[in-house]
Amino acid sequence: MEYFIQQLVNGLTLGSIYSLIAIGYTMVYGIIGMINFAHGDIFMLGGFAALITFLMLTSVFVGLPVVILVLIMIAAAMLTASLWNWTIEKVAYRPLRGSFRLAPLITAIGMSIAISNFIQVTQGPRNKPIPPLVSSVYNIFGIAISLKQLIIMLLTVILLATFWYIVNKTSLGRAQRATEQDRKMAALLGIDVDRTISVTFIMGAGLAAVAGTMYLMYYGVTVFTDGFIPGVKAFTAAVLGGIGSLPGAVLGGLLIGLIESLWSAYFTIDYKDVATFSILAIVLIFKPSGILGRPEVEKV
Amino acid sequence: MSDTLLSVQSVETYYGNIRALAGVNIDVKKGEIVSLIGANGAGKSTLMMTICGSPQARAGTVTFDGEDITRLPTHLIARRRIAQSPEGRRIFPRMTVYENLQMGASLDNLKYFNEDVEKIYTLFPRLKERQAQRGGTLSGGEQQMLSIGRALMARPKLLLLDEPSLGLAPLIVTQIFDAIKALNQEQGLTVFLVEQNAFAALKRSNRAYVMVNGQVTMSGSGKELLANPEVRAAYLEGGRH
């Protein structure tokens, strides 16, 4: 039993990270109907930005409190990733809007390769370690919960709540939802559609960057290929939950995290990715729109 | 500076290679109600959308309040206070009625929202009953009310209505036209509307245009066109109201 709960905690931690990335996929899909395959690399880039910030800060200010250090790392990662995603949307995706459906998709794959190669060339191809910043581990009824895990889960909850508030209760969120549902009508009501789409890319990148920083701290290492597997997993999470649905992305992320750690714990770790993707296939066979996705039927 | 609010001159609009508008000229003066009648496929809705820059005119000019708006992007045209209740109503289906109305008021960032939404609810009490319901679950007539209400929330200088009577019961049509007439007389709201229901539209319009195959073929005061035998034969007989 303790072993099971232990694996639940591990799964939820991993799932939190996937959820944060999955939101970026699902939002961009919702608003312009494309899969931004470069999103996983934006996540990786966020991790690198955090790492570089860490190295710079610790070499200049020795003995900076860890809380401040981590906050600055997160802020720097969010800023860098947002700037990149904003630029990519502007130069690579926007000119292709209104072109045939595959064009932006192929471009996104191109951007994904471009970002990971850029990091490979500028930062080197080897694993980049980061020393453990928070290492306390609490033992609660025989279950080991690290401070890192608590921080990751708490931060995810805070970010999701903020995000939910923005999307559902502010005029920016309303403009985003209106643009998603009927871009032409939104423009007729004075909404700057291009700007709204830009903001969506910025928000998605911000969440992915936090996830990137958390991922770096959790595993203590990052490498230029790190955007791929977590990126595909988060994409799977978005599809599993129902692409285009925000609660779906969160649910999908948590499920993928749980499946992965429970499978590794009870079966074999080598087949954890096989398990994850098999479950995706099974869900899509029986419910093609995903768990919380809406079927494409609408009353006119 | 004349009192012309909207002036459409020699406008041509294309869908791919198909010419939908072939040199349209229309003027709407401040405080007028002008209607546009014509058969299906004549280009009426295309003209409404061209005024809003979606699609943009390939030739000709659209002038609003003395400013050339032909090449402005749609959202900037909307910010000049041109509001449209477009063809097909275009309600945001997964937003509530209340949120749809909020979207209408986004130009002023909801500054006058509480005040204006009460007016809309007085005009269409049905919307108040339905305010927490999603737009996509409304009946066609309710969506039509919402679409008009949403356009009015923008505090427009020019209101473009594309077939406001479509899908509505005759009693409600009369109610809507009377409401439009009242807004026009009390607040000087300028209205340009497309109607299939030619009788109801012409009766309440100052002037009207008749459109055939992407061109304006006739114009005159509402009364003149109502009396015109050609107009009667083509758009009114058999379509008695």
Task: Spell out which residues of chain B touch residue A94, defining contact as CB-CB under 8 Å.
Answer: none
Contact A174 B106 (CB under 8 A): yes
pLDDT tens profile A219-233 = 999 999 999 999 999
ipTM for this model: 0.93
Task: Spell out which residues of chain A touch residue B83, defining contact as CB-CB under 8 Å.
Answer: 188-189
Contact B137 A298 (CB under 8 A): no
Cis status, amide bond into A131, omega within 30 of 0 = no
Confidence band, pLDDT 50/70/90 cuts, at residue B1? very low
pLDDT tens profile A163-221 = 999 999 999 999 999 999 999 999 999 999 999 999 999 999 999 999 999 999 999 99
> Which residue on chain A is closest to B152 by alpha carbon?
A189
**pLDDT score for B239:** 46
- CATH 3.40.50.300 fits domain B1-81+157-241: yes
> Which residue on chain A is closest to B77 by alpha carbon?
A190
Pull the structure tokens for residue B192. 């340009």
| Of A177, A188, A193, Cβ closest to residue B52 | A188
How many angstroms separate the CA of residue B201 from the nearest CA in chain A?
24
pLDDT tens profile A84-143 = 999 999 999 999 988 888 899 999 999 999 999 999 999 989 999 998 888 888 888 888
Q: Rounded to 5 degrees, what angle do the CA atoms A133, A137, A139 make?
A: 170
**pLDDT score for A111:** 95
Contact A188 B73 (CB under 8 A): no
Q: How far apart are CA B102 and CA A169, in angstroms?
A: 11
**pLDDT score for B200:** 83
Indicate if the pLDDT at residue B222 is higher than 80. yes
| Of A185, A193, A300, Cβ closest to residue B86 | A185
Confidence band, pLDDT 50/70/90 cuts, at residue B232? confident
Contact A182 B79 (CB under 8 A): no
Higher-confidence residue of A278 and A16: namely A16
3-state secondary structure at position B208: strand
**pLDDT score for B238:** 53
Interface of B with A (CB under 8 A): 52, 54, 73-75, 78-79, 83-84, 86, 88, 90, 92-95, 99, 102-104, 106-107, 109-110, 136-137, 150, 154
Q: What is the 3-state secondary structure (H, E, C) of chain A?
A: CHHHHHHHHHHHHHHHHHHHHHHHHHHHHHHHCCCCCCHHHHHHHHHHHHHHHHHHHHHHCCCCCHHHHHHHHHHHHHHHHHHHHHHHHHHHHHHHCCCCCHHHHHHHHHHHHHHHHHHHHHHCCCCEECCCCCCCEEEECCEEEEHHHHHHHHHHHHHHHHHHHHHHHCHHHHHHHHHHHCHHHHHHCCCCHHHHHHHHHHHHHHHHHHHHHHHHHHHCEECHHHHHHHHHHHHHHHHHHCCCCHHHHHHHHHHHHHHHHHHHHHCCHHHHHHHHHHHHHHHHHHCCCCCCCCCCCCCC
Q: How far apart are CA A3 and CA A187, in angstroms?
A: 54
- Disruptive mutation site among A183, A189, A297 for chain B (greatest number of B CBs within 10 Å): A189
Indicate if the pLDDT at residue A297 is higher than 60. no
> Which residue on chain A is closest to B94 by alpha carbon?
A181
Q: How far apart are CA A205 and CA B129, in angstroms?
A: 40
Q: Beta-carbon neighbour count of residue A54 at 10 Å?
A: 22
| Of A192, A193, A299, Cβ closest to residue B136 | A299
Confidence band, pLDDT 50/70/90 cuts, at residue B237? low
Contact A191 B106 (CB under 8 A): yes
Instruction: Measure Cα distances from A108 to A34, A77, A94, A239, A254 in Å.
Output: 9, 21, 12, 17, 25
**pLDDT score for B22:** 94
Average pLDDT over residues B101-125: 93
pLDDT tens profile A228-277 = 999 999 999 999 998 888 899 999 999 999 999 999 988 888 888 888 88
**pLDDT score for B2:** 58
> Which residue on chain B is closest to A194 by alpha carbon?
B75
Q: How far apart are CA A188 and CA B73, in angstroms?
A: 10
Indicate if the pLDDT at residue B69 is higher than 80. yes
pLDDT tens profile A27-49 = 999 898 889 999 999 999 999 99
In 3D space, the residue among B204, B212, B91 whose CA is nearest the CA of residue B151 turns out to be: B91
| Of A174, A182, A184, Cβ closest to residue B102 | A174
Domain residue extents for chain B: 1-81+157-241, 92-155
Contact A178 B54 (CB under 8 A): no
A239 with A58: CB under 8 angstroms? no
Interface of A with B (CB under 8 A): 171, 174-175, 177-178, 181-182, 184-193, 298-300
Full-model pTM = 0.91
Pull the structure tokens for residue B141. 């007539």
Domain residue extents for chain A: 2-227
How many angstroms separate the CA of residue A169 from the nearest CA in chain B?
10
Task: Spell out which residues of chain A touch residue B52, defining contact as CB-CB under 8 Å.
Answer: 188
**pLDDT score for B40:** 84
* A to B CB pairs, distance under 8 Å: 68
pLDDT tens profile A48-85 = 999 999 999 998 888 888 899 999 999 999 999 999 99
